[in-house]
Amino acid sequence: MDVQQMMTFLQKSVGAAYVYGGTGKPCAPAYRRARMKQYPAMASSIRTSCPVLSGKTASCAGCRYLGKPAYDCAQLSRYALKAAGILLPSGATSQWQAQAAWAYRGQISMAAARYVCVLFRRDTDARKMAHVGISLGNGYVVDARGHAVGVIKSKLTAYPWTHMAFPRGFPLPDSLMKTGGEPSAPAQPAPSRPAIDLHALHLAPGDRGESVRLVQTQLTRLGYPLPRFGIDGIYGSETACAVVAFQKVAGLVSSGAADEDTMKALFPRPDPIQAAEASLDDEEHAYSFTL
């Protein structure tokens, strides 16, 4: 776990461009056009914020984002946590729901100003998160705020953050370690182990049966919901997407198939959540960095 690597990444990212769907590639009209095609609903905002595409200038010369990377809020937080050795899925809501990644998550408190953590703003739809950023632990936040301003560093109090999440292995106040925080989905009981060896199974889209149901139950329990079809014992596209999200967090190949490595990560011995919580340092302390 290298929090300093993450802080260095965030330092370099301040001043980068915001492009919806941006994954850190250099900002350029061609890259923006590709994102406009990928996300038609955001095409107008992507175009308007580019001097070339909006017709204000003929070239990128003089643009404040010339040669700089482009991110949206979730991709910035994803790459920041990756620099610290933690893998998150894409999308603010999916990141919040990646329960296995967090030692604690819940409504924002004063701890967010004193500890390095991930901040979220809940959408008007309570099931979704509308924005995500990173608290630096010194009262400031770095986030990809929007097309108009790009990636900025601002005071935590300058934006209406509603929730916070502490990655496993990050410093965590004792007061938060004693609470479970807010679940992203109803807790599911741990599936009982059948006589078969789950680690020897290889499940893929199209498979059906009790083994698929066990995988679906464990995914839901770990914070990867199946809102459309639920735990139905059918390995469809929704289950495959949940498996991909889990594989990304677990650092596995994102195949969407529950292969041997994925099954070992889903059904470890011992339970990884309990082991991670037991290994957390009980001493209350905070990182404080200056960018």
- Is a pLDDT exceeding 50 seen at residue 49? yes
Query: Based on the domain organization, do 223 and 119 belong to the same domain?
Result: no
Any domain includes 185: no
Query: Based on the domain organization, do 166 and 79 belong to the same domain?
Result: yes
Q: What is the residue range of 225's domain?
A: 198-270
DSSP one-letter code for 291: -
Name the band, by pLDDT with cuts 50, 70 and 90, for residue 278: very low
**Kind plus residue range of the DSSP H or E element containing 70:** strand 69-71
What is the tens place of the pLDDT at every residue in 116-135?
Answer: 999 999 988 888 999 999 99
Distance (Å) of CA 86 to CA 160, 182, 209, 242: 26, 21, 33, 18
What is the tens place of the pLDDT at every residue in 101-116?
Answer: 999 999 999 899 999 9
* DSSP states of 74-137: HHHHHHHHHHTT----SSHHHHHH-GGGEEEEEE--THHHHSEEEEEEE-SSTT-EEEEEEEES
Measured CA to CA, the distance from residue 154 to residue 188 in angstroms comes to: 38
**Kind plus residue range of the DSSP H or E element containing 244:** helix 237-250
What is the tens place of the pLDDT at every residue in 59-72?
Answer: 999 999 999 999 99
Q: For residue 241, count CB atoms less than 10 angstroms from its CB and return exposed for 0-12, middle for 13-18, buried for 19 or more.
A: middle
Query: Based on the domain organization, do 104 and 34 belong to the same domain?
Result: yes
Question: Which residue has 């404040």 as its token pair?
Answer: 64
pLDDT computed for residue 181 by the predictor = 60
Q: Are 266 and 246 in contact (CB under 8 A)?
A: yes
Any domain includes 221: yes
CATH code, 248: 1.10.101.10
